[in-house]
């Protein structure tokens, strides 16, 4: 091989997405999400979330956007034994489906699912009390969630935002809708913040992650 760096092909990215298989309980949660038209994290995204949780030794995690529990289950599988995941979603029906999925996985004691608007719930959580925060919500509000993450995470904690690519709109300069502009602004703020060490990971629709220095 030459010393030149090469970009991954679409085939390679698709291979990476399916590299880690999903257990039946996650497949069931994914099917429940598809039945309800819910945006669930991709298998590659889920595997990356599990990896981040495991590599960071995450014990206290907050998740914004429970959905039917796909990302929740991936995170629980990476967290340390005895850890607690707090997951927030405004849709009670989805939360009930997620609770059923967590119970089916035998992890009810490891998850606290809160029904409510995340930007109203997060201010009630403990400052510097979390190892990891994962956001899978409205990208136009990501700047507000970043502010909450900086308060909630301990030094060395990690914040992760799904939809860093926004279905290709972020990289397309012709896209100028409000949501795209808001997410670009948030990404710039994250890159410019010297208190963070960021990276944009090319899995799923893009995972924008940052470590709190």
* Per-residue model confidence as pLDDT tens digits over 109-155: 999 999 999 999 999 999 999 999 999 999 999 999 999 999 999 99
- Regarding the domain delimited by 10-212, which CATH topology (the fold level of the hierarchy) does it fall under? Rossmann fold (3.40.50)
State the average pLDDT for the chain: 95
Least confident range of 2-16, 29-43, 181-195: 2-16
pLDDT on residue 191: 95
pLDDT on residue 155: 97
pLDDT on residue 205: 96
pLDDT on residue 6: 80
Give kind and range of the element (H or E) at residue 134. Answer: strand 130-135
Residue 19's pLDDT band, with cuts at 50, 70 and 90, is very high
CA 194 to chain centre: 22
pLDDT on residue 4: 66
pLDDT on residue 135: 98
Integer Cα distance of 64 and 205 in angstroms: 17
Integer Cα distance of 41 and 205 in angstroms: 9
* Residue that has been written with the tokens 């990690």 in this structure: 158
Evaluate if residue 3 carries a pLDDT over 80.
no
Q: What is the pTM of this model?
A: 0.95
Contact in structure between 194 and 188 (CB atoms under 8 Å): no
Q: Where are the domains of the chain?
A: 10-212
Residue 39's pLDDT band, with cuts at 50, 70 and 90, is confident
pLDDT on residue 2: 54
172's tokens: 């397309």
* Per-residue model confidence as pLDDT tens digits over 52-78: 999 999 999 999 999 999 999 999 999
Integer Cα distance of 213 and 195 in angstroms: 5
């Amino acid at each position: 091989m030459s010393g030149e760096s090469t970009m991954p092909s679409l085939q390679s990215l698709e291979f990476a997405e399916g590299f880690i298989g999903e257990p039946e309980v996650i497949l069931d949660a994914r099917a429940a999400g598809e039945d309800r038209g819910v945006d669930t994290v991709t298998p590659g995204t889920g595997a990356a979330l599990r990896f981040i949780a495991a590599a960071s030794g995450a014990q206290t995690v907050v998740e914004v956007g429970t959905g039917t529990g796909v990302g929740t289950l991936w995170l629980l599988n990476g967290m340390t034994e005895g850890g607690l995941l707090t997951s927030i979603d405004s849709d009670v029906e989805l939360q009930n489906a997620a609770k059923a999925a967590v119970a089916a996985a035998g992890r009810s004691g490891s998850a606290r699912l809160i029904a409510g608007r995340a930007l109203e719930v997060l201010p009630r959580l403990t400052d510097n009390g979390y190892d990891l925060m994962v956001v899978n919500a409205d990208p136009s509000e990501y700047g507000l969630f970043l502010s909450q993450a900086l308060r909630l995470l301990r030094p060395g904690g990690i914040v992760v935002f799904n939809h860093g690519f926004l279905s290709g709109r972020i990289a397309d300069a012709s896209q100028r809708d409000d949501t795209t502009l808001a997410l670009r602004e948030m990404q710039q703020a994250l890159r410019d913040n010297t208190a963070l060490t960021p990276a944009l990971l090319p899995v799923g629709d893009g995972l924008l992650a940052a470590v709190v220095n």
